[in-house]
Amino acid sequence: LAAGEGIETMLSLRYVLPTMPMAAALSANHLAAMLLPSGLRRLYIARDADAAGDTVLAVLTQRAADAGIEAIALSPRLGDFNEDLHVFGLDGLRAALRIQLVPEDVVRFLHSSTVPAE
């Protein structure tokens, strides 16, 4: 599961990872308080590159660890993943995510041939 603050952030990630389950929490506070599904093994935290993103990452990573869930940060190069998509394009965002995902998830979710219909 990938979870992030905003709809635009998560829609940008959906463009690159179309089959990964995702949730948009709508705010940093909502993301930090997100209920973690039972049986979840890995949580990708799509953080924004700001102080609120740092706080959410720390809080949610600890909550996930306490629940036995592997938490992995997904960090944008700019302010958020929507900005990254607009500035660096689909291939640039795909390349940035490739090095942040667990290798088995690269194979499972990051399809270089996947280009959603416009």
- Any idea where the domains of the chain sit in the sequence? 2-109
Q: Residues 5, 53: contact at Cβ < 8 Å?
A: yes
Please tell me the distance from the alpha carbon of residue 108 to that of residue 41, in angstroms, as a whole number.
15
pLDDT of the residue at 110:
87
pLDDT tens per residue, the chain (118 residues)?
999 999 999 999 999 999 999 999 999 999 999 999 999 999 999 999 999 999 999 999 999 999 999 999 999 999 999 999 999 999 999 999 999 999 999 999 987 544 444 4
In the numeric block, which tokens belong to residue 114? 């996947």
> What pTM does this model have?
0.91
The answer for residues whose C-beta is within 8 angstroms of residue 85's C-beta and 6 or more apart is 12, 15, 16, 93
Q: Residues 42, 2: contact at Cβ < 8 Å?
A: no
Q: Residues 109, 20: contact at Cβ < 8 Å?
A: yes
Q: What order do you get walking across the sheet with 22-24 strand by strand?
A: 22-24, 2-4, 42-46, 70-74
Structural fold of domain 2-109: Dna Topoisomerase Vi A Subunit; Chain: A, domain 2 (3.40.1360)
